[in-house]
Amino acid sequence: MLLVEQTRQGDMAAYEKLVKQYDRQVFRIANHIVQNREDAEDVVQDAFLKAYQKLDQFQGNSKFYTWLVRIAVNEALMRLRKRRTGRMVSIDEDVETEEGSMPRDLADWSPDPEAMYGQSEMGDILRKTIQGLPPGFRVVFVLRDVEGLSTEETAETLGLSIPAVKSRLLRARLQLRERLSRYFKRGQGRQAQAQVGAK
Amino acid sequence: MTCTEFLAQLDDMLDQDAAIPLRADLQEHLRECEHCEITLNTTRKTIQIYRSHELYELPDDLRERLHNAILAKCRNC
């Protein structure tokens, strides 16, 4: 809060510290939503500029970080909308799908699935898998499970109710688990490796 | 307890401290149902894997460029 107060008083060095403190997280979240590096760079710039311009509106009831993330998520969704030539994109999109309510692929995984792939291959698998989720599930999973926000903070950031966050989180987790099973299930490593290699 | 009822508790099980023992009825269902045991373990692993891999790293040169651009815009606004 001290850095926020110092920035309000015109101390740009204080704002630079805030940027350095949160830029990596904002970049990650933006990338997860827009799925395009150039757009994510623009989102980072716009989010920090908007936060600076609106700093007087920051009440201090929430953490600066969750307030900043809310701005970044809105910027990212707007960017996604522009890229899709005006089609509406919201965190409610595609969340009514029935997929993910009950696990189907119940094969157990290899004891150490991460050892089945190289670092780069694993990154490709994880990116490809999470990109397949609807935006409304993806953003909840990223904020809650990757960035470590609480359920309450995630709800506040996205303007959702707590039951809605819990419901989306469960379905996001189950959908990701199901999709990753094709790569990680016992005895399937070599076949899946060939699939990744062929892409 | 049915699998659907177990699944409704899945998030609470995943979010609580692993050291906290599960409720007796959940434990009993897990002992009898391999499917739910696999679902719990592999979902927990899914979260761990995503947490431990940095999918979108911000390289130093890009970071510096973004800082400069952000601060220049803020100074001029």
B-chain residue closest to A176, CA distance: B46
Q: Report the amino acid identity of residue B59.
A: P
Please say whether the dihedral angle defined by the alpha carbons of residues A44, A48, A51 and A53, taken in this order, is positive or negative: negative
Consecutive H or E run containing B43: helix B34-52
Interface TM-score (ipTM) > 0.85: yes
Q: Per-residue pLDDT for A181 more than 80?
A: yes
Please tell me the predicted confidence (pLDDT) of residue A99. Answer: 47
A198 C-beta neighbours (distance < 10 Å), count: 6
Q: Is the pLDDT of residue B47 over 50?
A: yes
CATH architecture of A2-83: Orthogonal Bundle (1.10)
Secondary structure class of A133 (helix, strand, coil): coil
* Span(s) in chain A for CATH 1.10.1740.10: 2-83
pLDDT tens across A29-47, in order? 999 999 999 999 999 999 9
Concatenate the DSSP letters of all residues of A143-186 into one string.
Answer: IIIIS---HHHHHHHHT--HHHHHHHHHHHHHHHHHHHHHHHBT
Mutate to test the interface with A, among B47, B74, B75 (most CBs of A within 10 A): B74
Question: What's this model's pTM, rounded to 2 decimal places?
Answer: 0.85
| CA A10 to mean position of chain CA atoms | 32
CATH 1.10.10.10 domain position(s) in chain A = 113-198
Q: How confident is the model at residue A199, as a pLDDT?
A: 46
Rounded to the nearest 10 degrees, what angle do helices A12-34 and A64-83 cross at?
50
Cβ atoms of B58 and A27 within 8 Å: the answer is yes
Domain count for chain B:
1
Residue A100 confidence (pLDDT): 47
- CATH code 3.40.50.2000 for A113-198: no
Contacts of A146 in chain B (CB under 8 A): 50-51
The DSSP call for residue A59 is -
Average pLDDT (B25-50) is 92
In the stretch 2-41 of chain A, residues with CB closer than 8 A to chain B read 12, 15-16, 19-20, 23-24, 27-28, 31-32, 37, 40-41
Interface contact B49, partner A, CB < 8 A: yes
What range defines the domain where residue B57 resides? Answer: 3-76
